Copies of this chain bind each other. A is one copy, B any other.
Amino acid sequence: MSNITIKDVAKKANVSISTVSLVLNGKAENIPDVTIEKVKDACRTLNYKRNMNASSLKSKVSKLAGLIVPDLENSYYSRVASCISTILYERGYSLVISSCDNNFEKEVDYINQMAARQVDALFLFPSAIGLSDKNKPLLKKTLDDCGLKIIILDRQTFLNSYIEVVNDDFYGATLACQFLVNKGFKRIACITGPKNVSSSDDRLAGYLEVVKQNGIFDESLIYVGDYHSELARIQARLILQRNDVDAIFAFNDLSAYAVYEVAGELNKKVGEDIFVVGYDNNPFSALITPKLTSVGQNINEMCQIAVDRMFDKRNVIETIKVRPTLVERDE
Pair B57/A57 contact, Cβ less than 8 Å: yes
Indicate whether A57 sits within 8 Å of B54 (C-beta atoms), given known contacts A75-B78, A96-B94.
Answer: yes
Q: How far is the CA of A1 from the CA of B120 in the complex (A)?
A: 9
A284 close to B (CB within 8 Å): yes
Q: How far is the CA of A75 from the CA of B73 in the complex (A)?
A: 7
Q: How far is the CA of A230 from the CA of B81 in the complex (A)?
A: 27
Q: What residues on B are CB-neighbors of A264 within 8 Å?
A: 289
Pair A62/B53 contact, Cβ less than 8 Å: yes
Total chain A interface residues with beta-carbon distance under 8 A: 55
Provide the A19-50 mask, 1 if CB < 8 A to any CB of B, else 0: 00000000000000000000000000001011
Q: What residues on B are CB-neighbors of A73 within 8 Å?
A: 75, 78-79, 82, 283
State the A residues within 8 Å of B (CB): 1-2, 47, 49-54, 56-57, 60, 62, 64, 71-73, 75, 77-79, 81-82, 85-86, 89, 94-99, 101, 106, 112-113, 115-118, 145-148, 229, 254, 257, 260-261, 264, 283-284, 287-289
Nearest 6 A/B pairs, CB to CB: A78-B78, A72-B82, A97-B97, A53-B53, A284-B284, A53-B57
- Additional A-B contacts beyond A1-B60, A71-B82, A95-B98 (4; CB < 8 A): A53-B57, A73-B283, A85-B99, A89-B106
